[in-house]
Structure 1
């Protein structure tokens, strides 16, 4: 320090007060251009690799922008593309990072950061119909098979995960696979209107629905309409299930119409898993993070439907499952009489 002061006195003629210490302004943060695929590939090539075309990718990026405090940071667009590459392939983080020349750790941070940002806006894109939207949904379902007052179709599916470090037994299903169960409802346009992703593989679909917020809303009369489900669900005044026996003609017509309508939720699962194959392959992550990835993919699915950026599918590729064998009865038969009333009024001809 003494040497610096002596130097300044010689330069300024001995008057140290005349010297002003000026801090050098910080350098602006830079974003590396790591061969941005948007500038190198066509819309069809982007769709094959990232499951969305350029306008939809830009739409998603505008709604999840998050600044970085790092110098030479990855841009928000590159981070989004890393995440889309992951959900479109289900590859290891190392392979996803190699495709864009970043490290495995950086790819993992990008994937987690983008998934969290998209999941935070899930309420804007996953909404159960109400008001005029509910009226429009009822009209579309009525045009399909003649069911009155249908607000959606409900069903559950599962995703395989790696063996968790805690509570391993509750994740096992009857086939001894580690799974998480998630349940969705959809409208006639394959839009997901409700999603629950938090239950372990040992739970039944009926319990997932019974403990859901949507079930409580129907119990409290917040929705004026009904849901359609398979025979794995209990029959309620707001949840119609198929008959076990088709001994009467109108019951046969009722079951046929219900299956034609309820197949929409099976097709929605098929579209979702076709767009994001890692949901079919399985996730090598913790249950909590797997649930977040599921919600994120549902949000992206709805965005694709809204933007008409959809997957072209062969109908044979869709997952179409029949009703369960056993009908669930939880001691409340109030729905059976209402089901009989609907079957007689709408399908007795």
Structure 2
């Protein structure tokens, strides 16, 4: 009897499963613009514009009932917007968990291919416009952007696990970004593990090398986690004069833009608020893709309600770095006494 049940069990287990043809519904035809934005963080016109830019680079399949490029894009946008498990996204779209994973990787790679259309540091006329925008906000002269780092939590990697443990005790990437006065990100360096200090990320970045070669006429604004350089202004650690106090106050009002930009980015793409369940390399791709999409949304006017923008308190003494260069300190003194005396 037991042998007969075992043979029947093996027969049923080895029987080829019946193929299920699932109906792939088009969410753009089901929901209105606000409902699409709520689920995918972009409205219909922007989704189609993005699809036109990257559609030819998405996975193509000759199989019957293959997932079309539009649904591949929507699956990835759904993941970036929510950070949900691939299985949950697959259930909502009537596709498998593995299909959602392939879509996320394929679409992310395609988005990275248009990076230079949306992330570029201002030069020439754009640089002059950026400086004028910063002057209108807080009266800080000659500023090209605000720089800071933010942690993006990831799962513990299998290699060099301790390198990714940040000062707060969890695994993360340390992502350095520069923003302009309109919350657009103009530079990103996302490949460093969480244990690396902001000052080293900046020192090793391509943007820092460009400033050192004199390619940009202006400077960035940072907190005391960065050394004061002729092209990187940081607050006075212990201001002695009224001019130095006004310098710090103006830098504070201007530099808070980067904190607000981080808040807007992470609120729009919730995958950056939780834990990215991916390898460090894939997590870097997701982060950069989110920044590209963030800038795309600003360019097309597809932005979230800004009434709840977070503005973290500015603390000029946080993570103080006492390795300011002499020319940087002299430039800071010149600006303080020329513009804020």
Same fold flag (TM > 0.5): yes
- Name the counterpart of 2:15: none
Pair 1:51-2:41 in alignment: yes
- TM-score, normalised with respect to structure 1: 0.88
Measure how far apart 1:73 and its partner are: 1.6
From 208, 217, 226, the equivalent of 1:224 is: 217
Partner Cα separation in structure 1 for residue 326 and residue 93 of structure 2 = 58
Gaps of 5+ in 1: 1-30
Structure 2 CA distance for partners of 1:331 and 1:228, relative to 1, 3 Å: closer
CA contact (8 A) 2:229 2:324 kept: no
Partner Cα separation in structure 1 for residue 168 and residue 260 of structure 2 = 24
- Name the counterpart of 1:340: 333
User: CA-to-partner distance for each residue in 1:235-275, whole Å, 9 max, x for gaps?
Assistant: 00000000112321111111110000001111100100010
User: CA-to-partner distance for each residue in 1:2-22, whole Å, 9 max, x for gaps?
Assistant: xxxxxxxxxxxxxxxxxxxxx
Pair 1:320-2:341 in alignment: no
Other structure's SS at 2:250 match: helix
Partner Cα separation in structure 2 for residue 151 and residue 165 of structure 1 = 39
CA contact (8 A) 2:247 2:336 kept: yes
Measure how far apart 1:33 and its partner are: 6.1
- Name the counterpart of 1:35: 25
Gaps of 5+ in 2: 1-20
CA contact (8 A) 2:22 2:94 kept: no
Partner Cα separation in structure 2 for residue 87 and residue 146 of structure 1 = 36
Measure how far apart 1:326 and its partner are: 4.3
State the structure with more CA Rg. 1
CA contact (8 A) 2:227 2:324 kept: no
- Name the counterpart of 1:191: 184
- Name the counterpart of 2:283: 290
Pair 1:300-2:300 in alignment: no
Partner Cα separation in structure 2 for residue 135 and residue 286 of structure 1 = 40
- TM-score, normalised with respect to structure 2: 0.90
- Name the counterpart of 1:20: none
Q: Segments of 4+ in structure 1 off by > 6 A?
A: none
Measure how far apart 1:119 and its partner are: 1.0
- Name the counterpart of 1:266: 259
CA contact (8 A) 2:164 2:171 kept: yes
Partner Cα separation in structure 2 for residue 338 and residue 182 of structure 1 = 27
CA contact (8 A) 1:32 1:73 kept: no
- Name the counterpart of 2:198: 205
